[in-house]
Amino acid sequence: MEALYKNFFRQKKKVDPVIKALEKVPIFEHLSEKELKNIVQLTHEREYKADEYIFKKHAPAEGMYVILNGKIEIKDPGSGSIFASLNSGDFFGELALLDEEPRSASAVCNEPSRLIGFFRSDLLTVIKRYPKLGNKILLNLSRVLGERLRETNKNIIKLK
Amino acid sequence: MDPLQKIYKILLFVIVSFLGWIILPFFSPLILILIFSFLLTSVFLQSVDYLEGYVGSRTLGVVVVLGLSVSVGILFMGSFINSLGIQIKTFSNKIQKDNFAIAVENLSTEIKLLLPEFFNNLVPDGDKVILMAKNFLVNIFQNILALLGSAGNFIFITFIVLVFTIILLIEYHDFKRSLVRFIPNKYLEIGLRTIYNIEKQISKYLRGQILAASSVAILSIVGLFILNKVGANITLIIFIGIIAGLANLIPMVGPFIGMVPAILITIMNNIGNESAFSHYIFNIIPSPFFILDIILMFIVVQQIDNNFITPIVIGESVGLHPMIVMIVLIIGGTLMGPLGMLFAIPATGVLKVLLREIIFISKNSHLL
């Protein structure tokens, strides 16, 4: 009977791949499905070709990207040194959510990629429309930045 | 680019522009409706976003915000029409009475005595004044009838604007997302920045204008109330205050529009009143029917608005040079009348943001 119910009556929950990708991002951690759906409504899904720049160094920065699929390289165009190679589920550019400083490196696609963009104006809209959710995201963002700061301090001590 | 392709592009642009020029007049009412809906959306967006956070449903938020605003609007209009009717009825009764004719005759003679001989021909005789007043009343009635005649059209347009506003308010963020989809990857971030800046500019300007208009309305009501305390006998002060506040939305010309109903009503109410006619400001300057008092009061309100309220609530949000404000007001007024004057400043503000962003993009084009 249970098998019959499972096979015929209970619909399998379709999980949106964007929600699936977002819930793994530390900035959107500990959010309910409804809250994630609210975020998805504000994000921008974009497709990029291979070798296409997502942003260039010194360009005005507006927000962060989450990789749905594809490969992205974060690099310094001057020296050519690669800071990071990112894959599906990774995210970058989150500092731009908080400040208006220009990009510190370039981001370029190594292969055709699909990204989710979440920008400062979207964050401000979340804060206005869903203040509780906005607070959760800001708290997560502070935690991510705090971890980065701790990591940087450790590296400085190591270098000394 | 291939020169032939370039020529094709220019040709296409010329054809599209020409077609647009031909089609535009047919769509201008729709464009105006859309502009009004967009402006109303900008006015209510913040309240709807705020309410949605609390009630959890955007539709409910829109219903509550718009429902309240429409109810207040209907109440105001109903009450205004009713009070205006009473005012006109009282005045027309006054005109019919004999002592009114004597009062007007006396007034005409007194004005002639006060003025130098050169101006005497300019002052009409008492019977002419009564005829003018009667014609004025007939004109008001005719205008009201004409207004009622076009009320059906007005109600229909208001209804369409309201429906568009409801749709825009509910779907605003989805519409914006759909718009962003058309922006090429290269210009995504700069495009979002431009949209955000335009939104910020319009919303800041509109909220500032509403706050400034409310302040002017309240200050005018207080001013008229004080004038009534010293015997000005001005009725409909709340409506005059609100009209002055609304007129204030049109820069430079608005404040003068606000004075007109107050002056008309004080004359209507005080004709035949000897003490009102021989009134003096500060016992020095003659101010028949408190007309100078009213003008002075509106000037004081304007000064408070220009020097204290507007700089605080609007600040440098639009930041246009007074010369440019005057030029765009004239252009707006010539093209679309009072509506054009109302839209001229926010439209110029949006153009300014667009221009700033275009300059920014062209300066940073190597980074995109």
- What pLDDT score was predicted for residue B236? 85
Q: Is residue A105 part of a domain?
A: yes
Question: Does residue A116 lie within any of the structural domains?
Answer: yes
Predicted pLDDT at A157: 92
Q: Decide: helix, strand or coil at residue B22.
A: helix
Kindly report the average pLDDT of chain B as a whole number.
Answer: 81
Residues B188, A48: C-beta atoms closer than 8 Å: no
Reported as a pLDDT band with limits 50, 70 and 90, residue A7 is low
pLDDT of A34 over the 70 cut: yes
Contacts of B290 (CB under 8 A, 6+ apart): B227, B231, B232, B234, B266, B270, B276, B279
pLDDT at B124 over 70: no
Residue A7 lies in a domain: no
Whether the predicted pLDDT of B150 surpasses 80 = no
Please state the domain count of chain A. 1
Partner-chain contact A63 B196, CB within 8 Å: no
Residue A77 lies in a domain: yes
B367, A59: Cβ pair inside 8 Å? yes
Terminal alpha carbon distance of chain B:
19
pLDDT on residue B120: 64
Per-residue model confidence as pLDDT tens digits over A78-133: 888 888 999 998 999 888 998 888 898 999 999 999 999 999 999 998 998 888 99
pLDDT at B67 over 90: yes
**Which residue in chain B has the smallest CA separation from A44?**
B177
The residue among A7 and A101 whose pLDDT is bigger is A101
pLDDT at A13: 61
Give me the percent of chain B exceeding a pLDDT of 90.
Answer: 11
Total number of residues shown for chain B: 368
Q: What are the residues facing A118 on neighbouring strands?
A: A64
Percent of chain B residues past pLDDT 70, beyond the cut: 85
Q: Which amino acid is at B10?
A: I
For A57, B31, B168, B243, the CA distances from B36, given in Å and listed in that order, are: 41, 9, 11, 19
Q: What is the pLDDT of residue B122?
A: 64
User: Lowest mean pLDDT: which of A4-13, B193-202, B282-291?
Assistant: A4-13
The pLDDT, as a whole number, for residue A52 is 93
Report DSSP letters for B47-63, one per residue: HHHHHHHHHS-HHHHHH
Flag if A55 and B181 touch (Cβ within 8 Å). Answer: no
Residue A126 resides in a domain: yes
pTM, two decimals, is 0.73
pLDDT, greater one: A14 or B263: B263
Which 14-43 residues of chain A touch chain B by CB within 8 A? 41-42
pLDDT at residue B200 is higher than 80: yes
User: Would A9 be classed as within a structural domain?
Assistant: no
Between A141-155, B103-117, B181-195, B232-246, the lowest mean confidence (pLDDT) is in: B103-117
* pLDDT score, position A134: 93
Domain that holds residue A150: 15-159
DSSP characters for B82-138?
HHHHHHHHHHHHHHHSHHHHHHHHHHHHHHHHHS-GGGGGGSPPHHHHHHHHHHHHH
- Asked if B185 and A54 come within 8 Å (Cβ–Cβ), the reply is yes
Give which of A41, A42, A49, A62 to mutate to test B binding, by max B Cβ within 10 Å.
A62
Distance CA B14, CA A38 (A): 43
Greater confidence (B283 vs A126) lies with A126
Q: What is the mean pLDDT of residues B315-322?
A: 64
Amino acid at B45: L
Q: Above 60 in pLDDT, residue A73?
A: yes
Q: Which residue has the higher pLDDT, B349 or B74?
A: B74
CATH of the domain at A89: 2.60.120.10
pLDDT tens-digit profile of B215-250? Answer: 889 999 999 999 888 888 888 888 889 888 888 877
Could you give the 3-state DSSP secondary structure of residue B315?
A: coil
Domain contains A59 = yes
Is there a domain that residue A5 lies in? no
Buried b (16+ CB within 10 A) or exposed e, B281-290: eeeeeebbbb
Prediction ipTM score:
0.84
Q: Which residues, in sequence order, are CB contacts of B246 under 8 Å at separation 6+?
A: B213, B217
Say whether residue A131 is in contact with chain B using an 8 A CB cutoff: yes
